[in-house]
């Protein structure tokens, strides 16, 4: 485990810690406890800058599922370092800001920070993972934490709507990306991103190459809110503003861009990649900027602005991919400028947009509204906030001397170069690229101005506000001030970034541009002379001001007419249709009728088995090896068939129960005939206890009525049951005639005594060879017993735990028969002794835990029948529910005892000892295990009988 692993896992573990401690903490805002996490991580990544510049970030592996090639491997290069710094740096500022933004008394702040920390860890995982499966896992975790954060105020309908929408869209993209990853790994034979990149040359021509590219891009476009998947981002603004600033502006929405950058070495150089990435980017750029202009809600404006800016960065990565076309030639470096601009603008956008979101948060916090129509004239009241807003908005508009100006100029350079491209069919449409970019920049300028001037200038409308606005407290201002000063610093000294971050990041995006040891040489200058770019900027400003003024007069807002045809409506209608359709499909067969379900099950059973029988060449019936039939056996068979056939026509419930019991006793006879003494004993006791149970419940059961069903139903039932019976008959004949492979039973017969020291093979299989099954089985029994206990107690108002009250009105037949009582006194001891014998001799002779336990229970039932429950409870003051638990515990501990000897779970041991009185005796741990089974069975049976018997 390396420090990088710790950086990813620390926030996740800290999230658990915060969840536990946070609730208890009353005096201090949870945010203060959380703040050190991003701070330390940020510091760590800052210290990694020089190391990464040397190209020594390195790969650290942690085996996870090595058999599937899935390892938790992390890799630090320029690109992941840049993102890690953004995540931890902005994270730090956002946490600080949120401490003052979220009231610890009114909000569930600890929950907020748990989600935020999960996001931070997941996002670091996305950008640092080298394994595609791990990357995918973290990717979805960011979607989930984003979902939780958007729905933070979950009692608001809009919040839940926005959360679900973002989740559905991003997870849809995530699954597409997952498929793309699988295709890539199938082609390259590895899940490691680095190894896939290394094999790019071999996989380019593969038929799955293009589908993989498109699927991965779907993931990137949905996550980064590219047109037409952008619709989730405006609704995500329902999240608290710190979340919007962090996830939905600076980090998570850039995960898609990260993905594009990360996979650029694989796909760049393909015309499809160039067109898809730049095309989607440019569409989103212009669409977002137009929509942003029309918003009246400040956060919605910023949301569309973010969409537009993400499009800008995306298109730059697309344009930069053209350099791969010229790999190795001088022209290549010409096009890498687009990539430089992309990386640079990525940083700039995080700074100015982060600051602007925080400003909007402050305005919202201090005035109680984000509606532009109600705001105005805040400049005098909130001078510091105003200054930050001016810096952020001017940078976004691309005005000097801020960092946005520099990256906007570089963007113009890139689009002008792209227009000159003479390959990949760019000639035809290439001229549009700078035009779109330029128009979008004008709109960007306009909405930036709207943001500043509408909010802070003009006439104040204090009467429209709920609160009297005043400057925000210091705590809220620290973070945006830091971000705004970065905007200025990066504006004047862009080369602070170019050597430390941009060059290593570019080396990661465009590794093929460099021969080993070479570095990109990025030098960003402020003034390039009177070139085309500067004239484009001047044009943007002039026309922008003009539009702003016209727009101010005639506000072209969204009309209801355009609302009707939006993508949002498509999404809403589509979702509603999906839900309706799927519930229709489900309801068509999930009718709530047990009969239907049973018909499905048995119809499938009959069809599948018939198919299997036919497919394997039919049933070969070979009667040669069949056992002979004696007269008595024939009598049993005939009476069995006869009595069972009567059952469907019986109208009396008592007779029905007795006939069923009779068939059970006949099964016992079969067990005797077929040399299965253990089974015969078990079946006999179980049948007796069951019939008694049936009779106990008898008074509570309704009378059997004539089945009032249409004849059609009866025939369907008859056909299905006869078919099922016929298939089972064939199965029995086929299986007993023909063996497809050697039985494993011979092994048990041979080794039962050698390996387990027992002569009763059935018992040895149960407690030794298949001890694990038996343990789970008694667990199931325990669950059934407790279920019955709970069912009985559930509406009788008794306490569930404890012995319950001792009511007199017992339903258990409480006999006053003197003969029964007298005989019982004797017989009970005989049965109990026999039960003990059966239990102890079980390992070598007929018997064992199950049989002994059932026999003991039978004795106890007899006792309570003869003397009543109260007396029997006094004689044997045992809580049978505790007995179940004790039995399970003994079985479990016996199994775990083998750990002491470094043996696998439930390894049994045995040896022979010479004991006084008994002579040479075998002691086996299996007997201890069997004791657990014994206790559990007694406990279960008695709990069931007592629960039912006690109920009135």
Partner 1 sequence: MELYMALTIGVLFAVGVYLILSKSLLRIILGTSLVTHAIHLLLLTTARLKTGAAPLLGEKAESYVDPLPQALILTSIVISFGVTSFFFVLAYKAYQRLGTDDMEELRGREDE
Local structure of 861: helix, strand or coil: helix
Q: Binding of partner 1 at residue 496 (CB under 8 A)?
A: no
Kindly state the smallest distance separating residue 671's Cβ from partner 1, in Å: 8
C-alpha to C-alpha distance for 626 and 849, rounded to whole angstroms: 33
Which C-beta is closer to partner 1: that of 470 or that of 700? Answer: 700
The residues in 589-618 that bind partner 1, with binding defined as CB under 8 A, are 591-595, 598-599, 602
Binding mask 879-918 for partner 1 (x = CB under 8 A): ----------------------------------------
Q: Which residue from 722, 875, 893, 903 is in contact with partner 1, where contact means CB under 8 A? A: 722
Report which DSSP code applies to 766.
I
Kindly state the smallest distance separating residue 611's Cβ from partner 1, in Å: 19
The residues in 612-651 that bind partner 1, with binding defined as CB under 8 A, are 621, 623, 625-629, 633-634, 637, 640-641, 644-645, 647-648
Q: Where are the beta strands (DSSP E) in 654-747?
A: none
Choose one: 207-215, 317-325, 573-581, 767-775; the region binding partner 1 (CB under 8 A). 767-775
Q: Which residue from 518, 521, 795, 902 is in contact with partner 1, where contact means CB under 8 A? A: 795
Kindly state the smallest distance separating residue 378's Cβ from partner 1, in Å: 52
Q: Binding of partner 1 at residue 585 (CB under 8 A)?
A: no
The residues in 192-251 that bind partner 1, with binding defined as CB under 8 A, are none
Residue 290: CA count within 13 A, CB half-sphere: 11
Which C-beta is closer to partner 1: that of 328 or that of 642? Answer: 642
For residue 853 the two structure tokens come to 């336990």
Contact 756, 764 (CB under 8 A): yes
Which C-beta is closer to partner 1: that of 130 or that of 678? Answer: 678
Q: Which residue from 729, 822, 833, 921 is in contact with partner 1, where contact means CB under 8 A? A: 729
Q: Binding of partner 1 at residue 667 (CB under 8 A)?
A: yes
- Report strand pairing: 74-75 vs 59-60: antiparallel
Binding mask 850-879 for partner 1 (x = CB under 8 A): x---x-------------------------
For residue 6 the two structure tokens come to 């710790």
For residue 365 the two structure tokens come to 């916090």
C-alpha to C-alpha distance for 127 and 275, rounded to whole angstroms: 25
Which string of DSSP letters, residue by residue, matches 62-118? -EEEGGGTEE--EE--HHHHHHHHHHHHHHHHHHHHHHHHS-TTTS-HHHHHHHHHH
Choose one: 559-567, 721-729, 885-893, 907-915; the region binding partner 1 (CB under 8 A). 721-729
Choose one: 129-137, 258-266, 607-615, 778-786; the region binding partner 1 (CB under 8 A). 778-786
Q: Binding of partner 1 at residue 721 (CB under 8 A)?
A: yes
Kindly state the smallest distance separating residue 699's Cβ from partner 1, in Å: 9
Rg for the chain, CA atoms, rounded: 39
Q: Binding of partner 1 at residue 23 (CB under 8 A)?
A: no
Contact 857, 909 (CB under 8 A): no
Q: Binding of partner 1 at residue 67 (CB under 8 A)?
A: no
Q: Which residue from 146, 249, 760, 908 is in contact with partner 1, where contact means CB under 8 A? A: 760
C-alpha to C-alpha distance for 492 and 484, rounded to whole angstroms: 13
Q: Binding of partner 1 at residue 762 (CB under 8 A)?
A: yes
The residue whose two tokens read 């009595």 is: 643
Contact 869, 812 (CB under 8 A): yes
Local structure of 336: helix, strand or coil: helix
Report which DSSP code applies to 899.
G
Q: What does the buried/exposed string (b/e) look like for 737-761 if buried means 16 or more CB atoms within 10 Å of the residue's CB? A: eeeeeeeeeeebeeebeeebbbebb
Report which DSSP code applies to 768.
I
Q: What does the buried/exposed string (b/e) look like for 121-140 if buried means 16 or more CB atoms within 10 Å of the residue's CB? A: bbbbbbbbbbbbbbbbbbbb
Choose one: 27-35, 175-183, 433-441, 943-951; the region binding partner 1 (CB under 8 A). 943-951
Q: What φ, ψ does residue 371 adopt, rounded to 5°?
A: -85, 120
The residues in 737-756 that bind partner 1, with binding defined as CB under 8 A, are 737, 743-745, 748-749, 752-753
Which C-beta is closer to partner 1: that of 313 or that of 940? Answer: 940
Choose one: 524-532, 563-571, 735-743, 891-899; the region binding partner 1 (CB under 8 A). 735-743
Q: Binding of partner 1 at residue 784 (CB under 8 A)?
A: yes
The residues in 680-709 that bind partner 1, with binding defined as CB under 8 A, are 682-683, 686, 689-690, 693-694, 697, 700-702, 704-705, 707, 709
Strand partners, 920: 914
Q: Binding of partner 1 at residue 382 (CB under 8 A)?
A: no
Contact 465, 406 (CB under 8 A): no
Strand partners, 913: 921
Q: Which residue from 775, 788, 863, 891 is in contact with partner 1, where contact means CB under 8 A? A: 788
Kindly state the smallest distance separating residue 910's Cβ from partner 1, in Å: 14
């Amino acid at each position: 485990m390396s420090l990088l692993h710790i950086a990813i896992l620390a926030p996740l573990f800290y999230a658990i810690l915060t969840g536990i401690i946070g609730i208890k903490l009353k005096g201090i805002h949870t945010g203060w406890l959380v703040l050190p996490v991003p701070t330390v991580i940020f510091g760590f990544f800052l210290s990694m800058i020089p190391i990464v510049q040397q190209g020594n970030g390195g790969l650290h592996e942690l085996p996870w599922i090595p058999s599937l090639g899935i390892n938790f491997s992390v890799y630090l290069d320029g690109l992941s370092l840049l993102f890690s710094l953004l995540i931890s740096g902005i994270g730090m500022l956002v946490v600080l800001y949120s401490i003052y933004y979220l009231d610890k008394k009114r909000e569930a702040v600890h929950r907020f920070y748990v989600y935020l920390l999960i996001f931070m860890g997941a996002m670091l995982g996305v950008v640092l993972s080298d394994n595609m499966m791990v990357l995918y896992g973290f990717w979805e975790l960011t979607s989930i934490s984003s979902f939780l954060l958007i729905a933070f105020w979950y009692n608001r309908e809009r919040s839940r709507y926005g959360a679900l929408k973002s989740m559905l869209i991003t997870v849809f993209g995530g699954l597409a990306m997952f498929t793309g990853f699988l295709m890539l790994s199938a082609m390259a034979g590895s899940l490691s991103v680095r190894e896939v990149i290394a094999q790019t040359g071999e996989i380019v021509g593969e038929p799955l190459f293009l589908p993989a590219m498109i699927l991965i891009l779907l993931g990137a476009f949905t996550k980064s809110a590219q047109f037409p998947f952008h619709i989730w981002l405006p609704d995500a603004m329902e999240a608290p503003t710190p979340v919007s600033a962090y996830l939905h502006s600076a980090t998570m929405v850039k995960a898609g861009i990260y993905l594009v950058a990360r996979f650029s070495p694989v796909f760049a150089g393909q015309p499809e990649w160039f067109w898809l990435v730049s095309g989607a980017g440019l569409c989103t750029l212009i669409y977002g900027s137009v929509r942003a202009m029309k918003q009246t809600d400040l956060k919605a404006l910023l949301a569309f602005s973010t969409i537009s800016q993400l499009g800008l960065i995306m298109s730059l990565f697309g344009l930069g991919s053209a350099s791969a076309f010229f790999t190795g030639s001088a022209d290549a470096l010409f096009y890498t400028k687009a990539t430089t601009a992309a990386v640079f603008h990525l940083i700039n956008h995080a700074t100015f947009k982060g600051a602007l979101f925080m400003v909007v948060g402050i305005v919202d916090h201090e005035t109680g509204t984000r509606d532009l129509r109600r705001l105005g004239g805040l400049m005098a009241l909130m001078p510091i906030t105003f200054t930050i807003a001016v810096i952020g908005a001017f940078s976004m508009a691309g005005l000097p001397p801020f960092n946005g100006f520099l990256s906007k100029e570089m963007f113009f350079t890139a689009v002008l170069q792209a227009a000159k491209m003479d390959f990949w069919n760019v000639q035809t449409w290439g001229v549009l690229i700078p035009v779109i970019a330029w128009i979008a920049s004008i709109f960007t300028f306009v909405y930036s101005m709207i943001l500043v001037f509408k909010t802070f200038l003009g006439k104040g409308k204090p009467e429209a506000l709920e609160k009297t606005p005043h400057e925000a407290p210091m705590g809220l201002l620290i973070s945006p001030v830091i971000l705004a000063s970065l905007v200025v610093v990066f504006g004047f000294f862009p080369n602070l970034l170019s050597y430390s971050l941009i060059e290593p990041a570019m080396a990661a995006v465009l590794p093929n541009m460099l021969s080993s040891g070479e570095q990109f040489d990025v030098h960003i200058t402020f003034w390039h002379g009177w070139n085309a770019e500067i004239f484009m900027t001047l044009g943007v400003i002039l026309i922008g001001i003009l539009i702003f003024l016209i727009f101010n007069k005639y506000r072209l807002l969204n009309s209801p007419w355009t609302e009707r045809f939006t993508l949002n409506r498509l999404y809403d209608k589509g979702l509603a249709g999906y839900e309706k359709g799927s519930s229709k499909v489900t309801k068509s067969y999930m009718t709530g009728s047990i009969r239907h379900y049973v018909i499905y099950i048995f119809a499938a059973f009959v069809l599948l088995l018939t198919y299997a029988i036919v497919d394997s060449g039919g049933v070969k019936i070979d009667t040669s090896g069949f056992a002979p039939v004696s007269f008595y056996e024939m009598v049993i068979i005939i009476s069995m068939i006869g009595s069972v056939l009567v059952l469907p026509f019986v109208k009396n419930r008592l007779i029905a129960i007795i006939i069923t019991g009779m068939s059970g006793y006949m099964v016992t006879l079969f067990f005797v005939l077929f040399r299965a003494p253990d089974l015969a004993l078990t079946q006999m006791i179980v049948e007796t206890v069951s019939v008694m149970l049936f009779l106990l419940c008898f008074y509570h059961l309704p009378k059997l009525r004539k089945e009032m069903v249409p004849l059609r139903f009866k025939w369907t039932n008859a056909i299905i049951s006869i078919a099922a019976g016929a298939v089972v008959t064939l199965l029995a004949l086929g299986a007993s005639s023909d063996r497809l492979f050697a039985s494993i039973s011979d092994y048990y017969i041979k080794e039962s005594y050698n390996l387990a020291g027992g002569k009763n093979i059935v018992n040895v299989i149960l407690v030794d060879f298949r001890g694990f099954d038996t343990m789970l089985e008694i667990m199931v029994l325990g669950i059934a017993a407790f279920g019955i206990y709970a069912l009985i107690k559930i509406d009788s108002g008794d306490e569930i735990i404890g012995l319950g009250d001792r009511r007199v009105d017992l339903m258990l037949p409480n006999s006053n028969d003197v003969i029964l009582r007298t005989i019982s006194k004797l017989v009970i001891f005989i049965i109990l002794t026999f039960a003990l014998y059966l239990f102890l001799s079980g390992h070598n002779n007929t018997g064992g835990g199950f049989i002994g336990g059932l026999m003991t229970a039978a004795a106890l039932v007899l006792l309570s029948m003869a003397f009543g429950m109260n007396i029997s409870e006094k004689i044997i003051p045992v809580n049978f529910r505790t007995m179940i638990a004790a039995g399970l515990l003994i079985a479990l501990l016996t199994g775990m005892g083998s750990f002491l000897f470094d043996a696998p779970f439930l390894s049994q041991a045995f040896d022979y000892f010479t004991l006084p009185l008994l002579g040479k005796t075998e002691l086996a741990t299996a007997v201890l295990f069997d004791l657990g089974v014994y206790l559990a069975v007694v406990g279960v049976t008695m709990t069931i009988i007592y629960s039912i018997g006690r109920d009135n």
